[in-house]
A and B are shown apart, each in its own frame.
Chain A
C-alpha cells in the first residue's frame, strides 16, 4: 500500500514540475503576474512530493520490504540499519531519486533566498529547473521506477554490493550530487538571462553564490570519493582515471573556470558570452556524467547497474536540454555588448587563459574517457586508454595554468606596467625555484625532477598568493585594521589557491615517493621497512553481521617506541561470496602507514602488503582548504548583497546595485 503511495507521489511531483515549468516561463514572456506567482508554490509542492517518495523508499529499506524489486536487489536482513539507509542510493533507481530530490532541494533554496531577484527573472529560473525535473521524473517513471514490485516476494534480499558497505559511501554520493546537480542553478540562471534576451552582468552577480556553493560540494564530493577509494579498495590508490571519476572531475574543471569567469563578468563586465557557455557546459557535463555512468556505454568500477534503454533516454534529455540551450545561445549571444575593455597584460588576460586551459584539460579528460567510443565509431582498431594517457596529457596542461595563476593573482584588472610587473614577479619566481630545488635536492633522491617541479609549482602559488596579501597591507599604518578591511572573498581566494598548492604537493610527493613491500608473515614475525618495524602480533577470526573476516593485528614500532597498532581485515561477504580487504591505516600529517592483508598461504602464513605513503593526506587537505575558500567567498557576497539591498531600498537608487 505504502509503495503505491510512493508511485503516486512521484506522479504528483511530475504534475507539479510541469506546472512549475509552463506557467512561470509563459507568464514571464507575457508579463502575466498571476502565472509568474505560481513559481514558488509549485516548486515547494514538488519538493514535498519528492521528499515523500524518498522517505517511503527509505522506510521500505528500513523494514526490509522485499516485495519491492529495488530493495530486494540491494539489501538484506543481515545488513546493519545504516547501510540499509544508504542502500537507498546504492544503485541506479534510488540514486536517480536522490538526484531529483537534490534538484528539488536546490530549487526550493532558490525560492527562499531570492527575494532580491526581479519576479520575471526568478520565474524563468524556477521554470527552467522545473523543466529539468520533468525530464528526470519521466526518466524515473518510465525506465527506472524504484517502486517496481517483485513477485514472488523473496525471503531475503541479494545484499548491497560490499564495496558500498562503508561510511564513505553513506555521505559521498549525496555530497557529490549536491555539486553535480547544483550546476543546474547556474544553468537555469544563464538560460533565464538568455530567455530574457538581456545578457547584462546582473545574472552573473546573482548566480555567483549558487555556483560557488555547488562547486564547494563538488570539490568535497570528489575528495570524499578519492578518500573512500584509498582506504576501501585496499591498495592505497586514490585516483584511477576511471570513467565515473572523470565524469565528476570534468564538471569540476569547468565549474572552476565558471566561478572565475563569473567573477570577471560581475566585476568587469567582460567574457559575458563565454561565461554563459561555461554555465551551459558545466551542466551538460553533469548530465553527461549521469549518462556515462548509467548507460553502460563505458564499463567502469562504478557501473553497478547499466542498461542501454536508460542510456537512450538520458541521451535524449541531454540533447533536448543542451541542444536547445545552445540554439538559444546562438540566437541571443550575437547581440551581447561588452562593456569592459582590457589590455594584454592584465588580470583579465590571465583569467581568460586559465579558463581556456581548464576547458582544454576537460577536453583531454573527455577525450580519454570516450576514446574507446570514437575508435570504435571510426573503425580504426583497438586501443585502450588508461592512467598513463591521462598523466601524460594532464600535466602539460596544468603547468601553464599554475604559472598563469601566479601572474593573475598579482596583476591588476585592466592593465599593468610591464616593467613594474616583471620586477614584482622576478623575486618570487626565483625564490620559489631556488627553495623548491633545495627541498627536492635535500629530501628526495629518486624522481628528483618531477618532485622538484611539483614543489616549485606549489611554492609559486603560495608565494604569489601571500605576496598579494602583503601588497594589500604593506602601506597601511594600522596593520590590524588593514587585515580586517580586506573582504572575505579575498581571503577565500587566498585560502583556495593555497589549498590547490597543498593538493599539488600531496599528489606529487605521494605519486613519486610512496614505497611498498609485500611480505609473507606468520604470527610473531617481524620485518623492518621504511624506518619502521612491523610486528604481526595476532591473526584473529571474526564474524561481522554479514561477513566472515580474518584480522591481522600489527604493531608498528619506531626506535623501540610503539607508534600504533594497526588492524587489517580480509572479509568474505557471505551473501555474494565476495572478498574485500579492509586496510589498516595510521594517518599522519606527513605520512600514512597503510597495511592490507592479502591471501592466506600455506601453514598459517599470510601475505601482507605494507605501504609508506608520504603526504597523502595533503591531497584531501588541499580540497578542504579549497572548499573553505569558496565558503568565505560566499559569506562575503551574501553580506555585500544584503547591505546593497538595504541601501538600494533606503535610497531607492537603482544605480547602487550596479556599481561595485
Chain B
C-alpha cells in the first residue's frame, strides 16, 4: 500500500494543475466590478508626509495599477505603462503594495515613473480591500469612482488596445451628474 503513496500525491498535484489551467486567473470576474472603489487614505510613495485620498480621483476616469518592486511580472508590464502614458492622456495612479519604500523608489528611478502618484500600502491592508492577489493588477475607475474593470497580471498591448483603451474612451464620454 505504501508503494502507492507517491502515485496518490502525484495524482493530487495533477488534479490541481488541471484545475489551475481551466481557471485562468486573469479572467476571474471580480465581485468589485460596478461597485464603488473601496475608500482609502494612504501616504504617497515619494512624500511620506502627504496623503493620497481615493476621493481625490473622482471626476476623472482613472486607472489604479497595483505594483511592487519584488514582483517579477511587473517588470514586464512596466515599460508598456511608460509607453501608454507617453502616448495617451491617462490618469494612472500606482498602488505600491507590500514593498520597501527605498526599493520602490529605486525601481521607479531605474525603469521610469509612469504614475501621477503612487500610494504606499506598506502592510497591504488596502490591497486586501481591493482583493489583490496577483500583482500586478489594474483597476479602471469611472468618473464617479466606481470600479468598471479589473485586470489581473501584466497588461499586454493586445489587451490594452482592444479592451482597456476603448473602455477609457467610452467612460470619458459618460456624463458625470
Contacts and interface: CB of A to CB of B under 8 A. Distances in A.
Interface of chain B, main secondary structure = helix
B7 A323 contact: yes
Interface string B106-142: 1111111100000000000000100111110000000
Contact of A376 (B23, B75, B113): B23
B110 A235 contact: yes
B20 A376 contact: yes
Nearest to B70: A386
A609 B107 CA distance: 11
A376 B21 contact: no
A384 B10 contact: no
B133 A375 contact: yes
Nearest to B23: A376
A295 B16 CA distance: 14
Contacts of A609: 106, 109-110
Interface stretch (B76-84, B88-96, B143-151, B158-166): B76-84
Contact of A333 (B3, B19, B83, B153): B3
A148 interface: no
Interface stretch (A79-87, A307-315, A470-478): A307-315
B72 A373 contact: no
Interface string A4-39: 000000000000000000000000000000000000
A607 B6 contact: no
A308 B24 contact: yes
Contacts of B11: 323
Contacts of A581: 110
Contacts of B19: 373, 377
A591 B19 CA distance: 47
Interface in A268-323: 273, 277, 280, 284, 291, 295-297, 299-301, 303, 308, 311-312, 315, 318-319, 322-323
A301 B78 CA distance: 12
A152 interface: no
B59 interface: no
Contacts of B24: 296, 308
B85 to A, nearest CB: 13
A598 interface: yes
Contact of B134 (A299, A303, A576): A299
B54 interface: no
Given A240-B72, A299-B154, A384-B134, A315 B14 contact: yes
Interface in B3-29: 3-4, 6-7, 10-11, 14, 16-21, 23-25
Contacts of B128: 382
A251 B153 CA distance: 27
Given A330-B4, A333-B3, A323 B112 contact: no
Contact of A301 (B72, B110, B134): B72
Contacts of A322: 10
B133 A382 contact: yes
B7 A599 contact: no
Contacts of A386: 68, 70-71, 98
B109 A327 contact: no
Nearest to B97: A384
B73 interface: yes
Contact of B16 (A240, A300, A374): A374
A578 B134 CA distance: 24
B109 A300 contact: no
A370 interface: yes
A160 to B, nearest CB: 15
Contacts of B73: 299-301, 303
Nearest to B105: A518
Interface in A341-394: 370, 372-377, 381-384, 386-387
B175 to A, nearest CB: 35
A596 interface: yes
Contact of A382 (B106, B113, B132): B132
A322 B105 CA distance: 46
Interface string A202-243: 000000000000000000000000000000011100001010
**What band does the interface of chain A fall in when counting residues whose beta carbon is under 8 Å from B?**
35 or more
Contacts of B4: 330
B154 A579 contact: no
Given A297-B20, A301-B72, A301-B75, A376 B25 contact: yes
Contacts of B111: 579
Interface string B15-47: 011111101110000000000000000000000
B41 to A, nearest CB: 22
Contacts of B25: 372, 376
Nearest to A598: B109
Contacts of A323: 7, 10-11, 14
A395 to B, nearest CB: 18
Nearest to A233: B75
Contact of A579 (B21, B79, B133): B79
Contacts of A598: 106, 109-110
B23 A318 contact: no
B14 to A, nearest CB: 5
A234 B110 contact: yes
A577 interface: yes
A561 B62 CA distance: 54
B26 to A, nearest CB: 9
Nearest to B131: A382
Contacts of A319: 14
Given A598-B110, A609-B110, A242 B14 contact: no
Given A330-B3, A386-B70, A577 B20 contact: no
Given A284-B10, A374-B16, A596-B110, A295 B21 contact: yes
A383 B105 CA distance: 24
Given A329-B6, A386-B70, A579-B82, A373 B16 contact: yes
Nearest to B20: A373
A622 to B, nearest CB: 25
A319 B19 CA distance: 14
B6 A277 contact: yes
A575 interface: no
Given A299-B154, A383-B133, A384-B133, A330 B17 contact: no
Contacts of A374: 16
Nearest to A319: B14
A466 interface: no
Given A291-B17, A330-B4, A578 B75 contact: no
A334 interface: yes
25 contacts: A235-B106, A280-B6, A297-B17, A299-B72, A299-B153, A299-B154, A300-B73, A301-B72, A301-B73, A315-B18, A323-B14, A327-B7, A372-B133, A376-B23, A376-B133, A377-B16, A377-B20, A384-B133, A387-B70, A518-B106, A576-B79, A579-B111, A598-B106, A599-B108, A599-B110
Interface of B: 3-4, 6-7, 10-11, 14, 16-21, 23-25, 68, 70-73, 75-76, 79, 82-83, 98, 105-113, 128, 131-135, 153-154
Given A373-B19, A386-B71, 6 more contacts: A296-B24, A297-B17, A330-B3, A382-B131, A387-B70, A577-B79
